[in-house]
Structure 1
Amino acid sequence: MDVRQAITDRIIAMLEKGGNVFRERWTRAASRGMPRNGKTGAPYHGANVLLLWDAAIEHGYASNVWLTYKQAASMGAQVRRGERAVLCAHFERKAMRNPGASEIDSSASGASHGEGEGDASDRGHDGRSGVLLCTPFWLFNVAQIDGLPASTALPAPDRQAWADGSAIEGAMRFIGGCHANIQHGYLRAAYSPSADRILMPDVDRFTSPQAYCATALHELVHWTGHEKRLNRSFGQRFGDAAYAFEELVAELGCAFVLGHIGLVDATIEGHAAYLDNWLQVLRNDRTAIFTAARHAGEAFEFILARALP
């Protein structure tokens, strides 16, 4: 089974529904918290997050808690007959210390039950040569399982209770906490890497305060990629498509942020034109979505760690 291609095809099908459709689905699912494993409590990462979010909205699941069939059985529960699982990907590096000897280095794949890794490089994090293996695993939502103990309840989203409880305040705490250089008075929103500066139209030029916050957060994800921060660069791998790919990273990273703060109805203005480019990148590279989702997750964690209290 070509797991990368199967999952890439799923993501392409989501994107083909149109920008407003997949963006709304992902952010609404994200407002319930990041997908987590119901037995270990570990969060899922990368492209697996997108797949689980989409399945939760598609089937109307109230919970973002998931289990494998064996995990459910080990807890004395049973997946209902006829229920369908969500295909996810687990990455693991098979590292070679010496010729003829091999071992599995499971720490390279991150959290158990599937880390959204994507770069099939021939060297591991410790410098050992090897192959990054992608294996499938399947998850069921707790809504598909009977007999689970009460302790497998939906965990509350990891969201701080801000003073007025509004998503707008949450967005401004994220934006302010990063201390990015943001300048207003421009015709359109953009991030300038050479000046390390976010350029924004004045607030009253946006259709709503929510749209302003969403657009600013999108540019803030770009800002995290500067060489002084996460140092993202895709030119060597994607060539002319590198700019479009960075936009995909920003789209996904912004979805993570918007969902986390509950800003689910916002519109990112001026970014609808990139959809065809994203589709072209994903159709040409079956590993691209894993790389984009991993970088988006890193950007989200970077912004989250700097939010004002």
Structure 2
Amino acid sequence: MKRSKRNSGKDVYQIVNERIMASLEKGTIPWKRPWSIMGLPKNYLSGKVYKGINLWLLLSCSYGNPYYLTFKQAESLGGKVRKGTKSIPVVYWNFVFKHKETGKKLTEQEARKLPKGLVDRRAFLKYYNVFNISDVEGVDWKLPETSSKPSFKPIKACEDILKNAPDLPEIKYGEAQAYYYPAKDYINMPAKELFKSEGHYYQTLFHELVHSTGHQKRLDRKELWDTNGNDESSYSREELTAEMGASYLSNLCGIWEEAQQENSSAYIQHWLGQLKKDKRLLVESAAKAQKAVDYLTNRTD
């Protein structure tokens, strides 16, 4: 476990890009997440909401609450960061001021007293690390009460698909993130109550269900199970298939909404951008998505 850093030779831009890409590869668009995490990410002690790219970095995490602390802040509360927990970078701008004529380094206060023409101001990006409070032990957290949300109402058309689809994988609700785990053939979903609407829940579940059809005991889709790294585009192809299949199923069930269309289009556009040189990609992915939908709906025609 690493303490918070304020000085590092690592490229901060690379850190940000890697986290955003990792989120996309897990099936989450950070700025269009279909489930909620009790409000926007904020610092537990100050109550201030994180802004800019930090907002998106923290929204892409899989925690069920939005509160974060630095290592030192956790210690100041008598807490201890759980062993093995990975920190999350929060970026910020740092400024250096120098006198243009003398080259003398200035404090911000000294720089403000001089005419702008005499001050050379340079900015560079730095970062420090934070941890979600769920990874901090030994603290009695005092959290605000959340307003009650109407209970989840199952949609019959969607439940019929789940009921009649052959050989569905187990669906678990252990983490606040959505993914299909091929090795153990199960789907993990955020709690139903965290989703913005029933439609968003089912669309997200359909995405993972389409992934599961690629298992070797079902449609045996190479893009899903071939992880030897020889074909870097396999993952992108599989994501396109899953999202297109989820769109087909959502339309079939009559739950398609404008917000879901926006979310799906942004996701598909991202993967098309990764594979823009492949002219056949969209047609091939559409065909595989249709085959997955036919499998899940027991259509053999």
User: Which structure has the bigger radius of gyration?
Assistant: 2
Query: Normalising by the residue count of structure 2, what TM-score does the alignment of the two structures yield?
Result: 0.43
Query: Normalising by the residue count of structure 1, what TM-score does the alignment of the two structures yield?
Result: 0.42
Return the structure number with greater relative CO, CA threshold 8 A, min gap 6: 1
